[in-house]
């Protein structure tokens, strides 16, 4: 493939296959007001001298301030800070009201509860196509020991959750399920008592195992989409991982497609299944989906970012 034939969208998707951490880059404008943006294009460069870099899009509204700043900071977000990432990835006016922070020795905003932070003197601004590279010389830093937040293929992941899932799968304690959608309807199993299609996970890639199960059991072509719900089942002791999926045309060999907003009086196998179907009905109506993390009794829904976590 030559440079002239590269599809920018396809190239960005391919770049997104590489898992990265998530950071918020901060600095101050000429009047001392804090600015910041989410970025995953960050890397260490050198230990001696202590250098790091982050990429900044030339279209960023922070471009002029950042490229003219004498100092900037990198806040490496911890796995509990997805909301912080989303806040600083969007054009929210008072972003800093949503996070606890303090000024570093050079005046840059440093966030609380991050995995690590680095306050840097601007070493060099390097032209790089439709971005610039901000090279920083580390003047101060701290490492909290917390796990960092991960990002790959347009979605977040957490090291702790991933390790728990691998452990659960190897012990036969993880169940994979899917909200299989087709034109607004959801595939449900059962007649009097409804349930989502699900299968116990074992060693291997969970999405591949789930897709194989769904296609074998339904006879339909199924495409696995984004992660939709992750919760610990207190009643069965299993880790439950639920994905969104889209089904192709045809009559399913098992189950039937039903409109989720017409199931208010339906009986479900578990309360968790009812919660998932009801949430999907609500989110489908507004076109804004999230990922649930928690257990059967309570948790939080984290919005799925509408754009890549980049400046």
CATH number of the domain to which 135 belongs: 2.30.110.10
- Domains of the chain: total: 2
The answer to whether residue 59 is domain-embedded is yes
The answer to whether residue 296 is domain-embedded is no
- Going by pLDDT thresholds of 50, 70 and 90, the confidence category of residue 293 is confident
The pLDDT tens digits for 45-97 are 999 999 999 999 999 988 999 999 999 999 999 988 888 988 898 877 788 98
- Going by pLDDT thresholds of 50, 70 and 90, the confidence category of residue 131 is very high
The answer to whether residue 4 is domain-embedded is no
Per DSSP, helices labelled H in 129-270 are 159-170, 206-218
The pLDDT tens digits for 201-242 are 766 667 788 889 999 999 999 988 878 888 888 777 788 889
CATH number of the domain encompassing residue 199: 3.90.79.10
Pair 120, 204 in one domain: no
* pLDDT at site 160: 59
Rounded CA-CA distance 118/172 in Å is: 41
* pLDDT at site 35: 94
Residue 70: count other Cβ atoms within 10 Å of its Cβ: 12
The answer to whether residue 141 is domain-embedded is yes
Pair 175, 143 in one domain: no
* pLDDT at site 310: 43
Q: Which domain holds residue 141?
A: 20-151
Domain end position, chosen among 119, 151, 183: 151
Q: What DSSP letter does each residue of 241-287 carry, written as one string?
A: EEEEEEE-SS--SSSEEE-GGG-TT-EESSHHHHHHHHHHHHHHHHT
Pair 60, 99 in one domain: yes
The pLDDT tens digits for 146-184 are 888 887 766 676 665 555 554 544 455 788 999 999 998
The answer to whether residue 309 is domain-embedded is no
Is the pLDDT at 105 greater than 90, yes or no? yes
| Average pLDDT of the chain, as a whole number | 84
- Going by pLDDT thresholds of 50, 70 and 90, the confidence category of residue 14 is confident
Q: Which residues contact 171 (CB under 8 A, 6 or more apart)?
A: none
Rounded CA-CA distance 282/276 in Å is: 10
């Amino acid at each position: 493939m030559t440079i002239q034939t590269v599809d920018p969208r396809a190239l960005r998707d391919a770049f997104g296959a590489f898992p990265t951490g998530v950071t918020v880059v901060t600095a101050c404008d000429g009047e001392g007001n804090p600015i910041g943006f989410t970025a995953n294009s960050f890397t260490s460069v050198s230990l001696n001298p202590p250098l790091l870099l982050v990429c900044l899009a030339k279209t960023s509204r922070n471009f002029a301030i950042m490229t003219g700043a004498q100092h900037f900071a990198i806040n490496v977000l911890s796995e509990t800070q997805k909301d912080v990432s989303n806040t600083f990835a969007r054009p929210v006016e008072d972003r800093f009201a949503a996070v606890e922070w303090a000024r570093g020795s050079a005046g840059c905003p440093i966030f609380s509860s991050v995995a690590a932070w680095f306050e840097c003197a601007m070493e060099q601004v390097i032209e790089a196509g439709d971005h610039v590279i901000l090279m920083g010389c580390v003047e101060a830093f701290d490492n909290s020991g917390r796990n960092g937040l991960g990002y790959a293929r347009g979605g977040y992941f957490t090291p702790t959750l991933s390790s728990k899932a691998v452990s659960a799968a190897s012990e036969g304690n993880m169940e994979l399920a899917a909200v299989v959608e087709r034109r607004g309807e959801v595939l449900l199993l059962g007649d009097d008592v409804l349930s989502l299609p699900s299968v116990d996970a074992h060693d291997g890639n969970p999405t591949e195992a789930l897709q194989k199960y769904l296609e074998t059991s339904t006879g339909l072509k199924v495409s696995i989409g984004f992660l939709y719900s992750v919760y610990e089942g207190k009643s069965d002791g299993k880790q439950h991982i639920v994905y969104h999926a889209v089904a192709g045309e045809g009559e399913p060999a098992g189950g039937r497609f039903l409109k989720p907003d017409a199931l208010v009086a339906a009986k479900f196998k578990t309360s968790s299944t009812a919660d998932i179907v009801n949430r999907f009905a609500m989110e489908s109506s507004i076109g804004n989906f999230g990922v649930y993390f928690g257990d059967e009794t309570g948790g939080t829904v984290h919005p799925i970012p509408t754009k890549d976590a980049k400046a």
